[in-house]
C-alpha cells in the first residue's frame, strides 16, 4: 500500500488546503498522474501519483486543511486493472452517444451520461469555492470575470441570484440539517464569517513571526522621480509599439537602483542566523516584489538582479506579477529572496511602516507620486515627488546606515543616468 502524503512544496510551508481531487476511490491511476490539487500560502500545486495502481482510500475531503506529512490518500500499487476503465481507455461511440453531445456542444463543460464527467479547471479562491459548495453551485459552470478567468465571490453570488443553479433536494436537505455556528456575544448574528485558514493564516503567522523576532525601525524619505518618469516617456516614444521591449515600468528602475545601492551597503542584502550568531551577506541580489492577489499577499522574486538590465527586470517583473495574480507561480518563483520592495503607490498610499519579510533584514515601500511645488535652486518649480518607507532590522544595522542606503537609492532614482555607469 502506497501512502500519498502532503510534502513540502514551498519554502517554509507547514500546511495546505485541499482544493480539488482528480480521482475517487476505485479509480486506476498511472505514475505521475495528477491526484489532488493543494493550495498553500504561496502556490497552488498538483500532487502526482508516485505509483501505478488503484485508489484505495481517500483520507480527507475538499476544503480540509492538512499539515505536511499527513496522509491524503492511499494507492494499492500494482493492483489488477481488470474491470476498471481508466480515463485513457477509448469509448465506443455507438454505445455511448453522450460523446457526440460533448463534441457538438463545445460551450458546455459539464456532462453526465454514465461514463464520465468532463470539467474545466477553474481558478478560484478557497473561500469562493466554499460559497459555491454551500449554495449547491458547480463552480465549473461559472464564467470567471477576474484576472485570467478567475471566479470571484461576486461571480458566484450573481450565478445564484439568477436562479441558474437551484439546489438539489439532497443538498437542500443537508443545508437544512447542517448545524448553525453561533456568533460570540459581542458579534451580530448577521455578521459574515470568513475562514481564517490557507494563505491568509500563513500570512498572519509570518507577520507575527517577523514582528515578534525583528525590532523594526522605519525611515522615511522623499524622492523626486521626475527624471526617471521622463526617461520612461522617452523610451515609449522611441518604441511606440513596444517591438523592442522599451516600454518599461518605473518600478523596474526602482529595483535596479536598490540593487546598485545594495552593492554599496551589503548589510541590507543579508540574513541573520541567530543560532550560529552570524550575519550572512548574500552574494546574489534577489528582490521580492510584494504583490496583492485575490488570495492575499504573495511575493514573487526577481533573481540575480545584479546580472540584469532594466528591460530584463521589467519583463520578468510583469510576468511574475501577472502569474501571482492568477495563482500560476511555481515554488522556485518565490524562494531565495534577499530584499523586498512594496510598490503601493498605484493604490494611493502616502506612507507606511512595512513589515520585513523574515528572514530578510530590510524592505522598502514606494508610495504614490504626485506633482508638488518644490524649490530647485532659488526657484519654485513643479516636480513629481514620491515618498518611500525603509524598514530595517535594528539588530543588524543602525539608523545612520539605513539613512545612507536610502540616500543612495534616492540619488540613483533622481539621477537615473548614474545607473548607466553601473551596468555590467
Which of 52, 11, 13 minimizes the C-alpha distance to 35? 52
Q: Count the Cβ atoms, other than its own, within 10 Å of residue 187.
A: 10
Name the catalytic one among 14, 216, 304, 394.
Answer: 394
CA 152, CA 135: separation in Å to the nearest integer? 15
Q: Count the Cβ atoms, other than its own, within 10 Å of residue 152.
A: 18
Return the ∠ at Cα 39 (arms to 37 and 40), rounded to 5°. Answer: 145
CA 256, CA 250: separation in Å to the nearest integer? 10
- Scanning the structure block, which residue is given the C-alpha cell 544595522? 397
**Buried/exposed 94-133: b ≥16 CB within 10 Å, e otherwise:** eeeebbeeeeeeeeebeeeeeeeeeeeebbbbbbbbbbbe
Q: How far is CA 108 from the centre of its chain?
A: 30
Per DSSP bridges, beta strands 339-343 and 287-289 are parallel
Q: Which residues on neighbouring strands pair with residue 291, listed in sequence order?
A: 298
Which of 194, 122, 133 minimizes the C-alpha distance to 165? 133
Backbone angles phi, psi at 260, to 5 degrees: -65, -40
Q: Which three cell numbers stand for residue 114?
A: 454514465
Which of 157, 221, 154 minimizes the C-alpha distance to 414? 221
Residues whose CB is less than 8 angstroms from the CB of residue 377 and which lie 6 or more positions away in sequence, other chains included: none
394 is a catalytic site residue = yes
Q: Is 281:269 a contact under the CB 8 Å cutoff? A: yes
- Scanning the structure block, which residue is given the C-alpha cell 539608523? 399
E strands, 229-326, are 270-273, 278-281, 287-289, 291-293, 296-298, 301-302
| Alpha-carbon distances, residue 383 vs 107, 226, 411 (angstroms) | 53, 6, 16
Residues labelled as active-site residues: 394
Amino acid at each position: 500500500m502506497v501512502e500519498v502524503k502532503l510534502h513540502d512544496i514551498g519554502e517554509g510551508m507547514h500546511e495546505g488546503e485541499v482544493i480539488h481531487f482528480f480521482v475517487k476511490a476505485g479509480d486506476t491511476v498511472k505514475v505521475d498522474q495528477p491526484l489532488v490539487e493543494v493550495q498553500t500560502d504561496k502556490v497552488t500545486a498538483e500532487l502526482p501519483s508516485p505509483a501505478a495502481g488503484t485508489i484505495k482510500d481517500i483520507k480527507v475531503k475538499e476544503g480540509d486543511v492538512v499539515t505536511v506529512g499527513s496522509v491524503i490518500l492511499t494507492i494499492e500499487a500494482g493492483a489488477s486493472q481488470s474491470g476498471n476503465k481508466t480515463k485513457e481507455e477509448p469509448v465506443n461511440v455507438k454505445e455511448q452517444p453522450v460523446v457526440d453531445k460533448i463534441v457538438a456542444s463545445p460551450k458546455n463543460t459539464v456532462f453526465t451520461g454514465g461514463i464520465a464527467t468532463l470539467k474545466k479547471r477553474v481558478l478560484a479562491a478557497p473561500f469562493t469555492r466554499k460559497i459555491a459548495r454551500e449554495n449547491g453551485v458547480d463552480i465549473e459552470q461559472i464564467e470567471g470575470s477576474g484576472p485570467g478567468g478567475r471566479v470571484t465571490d461576486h461571480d458566484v453570488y450573481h450565478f445564484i441570484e439568477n436562479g441558474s443553479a437551484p439546489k438539489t433536494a439532497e443538498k437542500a436537505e443537508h443545508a437544512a440539517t447542517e448545524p448553525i455556528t453561533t456568533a460570540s456575544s459581542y458579534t451580530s448574528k448577521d455578521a459574515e464569517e470568513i475562514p481564517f485558514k490557507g494563505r491568509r493564516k500563513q500570512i498572519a503567522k509570518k507577520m507575527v513571526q517577523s514582528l515578534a523576532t525583528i525590532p523594526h525601525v522605519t525611515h522615511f524619505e522623499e524622492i523626486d522621480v521626475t527624471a526617471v518618469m521622463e526617461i520612461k516617456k522617452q523610451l515609449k516614444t522611441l518604441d511606440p509599439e513596444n517591438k523592442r521591449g522599451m516600454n518599461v515600468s518605473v518600478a523596474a528602475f526602482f529595483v535596479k537602483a536598490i540593487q546598485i545601492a545594495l552593492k554599496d551597503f551589503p548589510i541590507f542584502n543579508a540574513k541573520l542566523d541567530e543560532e550560529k550568531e552570524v550575519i550572512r551577506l548574500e552574494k546574489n541580489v534577489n528582490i521580492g516584489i510584494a504583490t496583492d492577489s485575490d488570495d492575499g499577499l504573495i511575493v514573487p522574486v526577481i533573481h540575480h538582479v545584479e546580472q540584469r538590465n532594466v528591460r530584463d527586470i521589467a519583463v520578468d517583473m510583469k510576468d511574475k506579477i501577472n502569474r501571482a495574480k492568477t495563482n500560476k507561480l511555481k515554488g522556485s518563483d518565490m524562494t531565495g529572496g534577499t530584499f523586498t520592495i512594496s510598490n503601493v503607490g498605484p493604490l494611493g498610499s502616502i506612507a507606511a511602516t512595512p513589515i520585513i519579510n523574515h528572514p530578510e533584514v530590510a524592505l522598502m515601500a514606494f508610495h504614490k507620486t504626485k506633482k508638488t511645488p518644490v524649490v530647485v535652486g532659488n526657484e519654485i518649480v513643479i516636480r513629481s515627488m514620491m515618498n518611500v518607507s525603509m524598514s530595517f532590522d535594528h539588530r543588524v544595522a543602525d539608523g545612520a546606515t539605513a539613512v545612507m542606503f536610502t540616500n543612495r537609492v534616492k540619488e540613483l532614482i533622481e539621477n537615473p543616468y548614474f545607473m548607466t555607469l553601473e551596468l555590467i
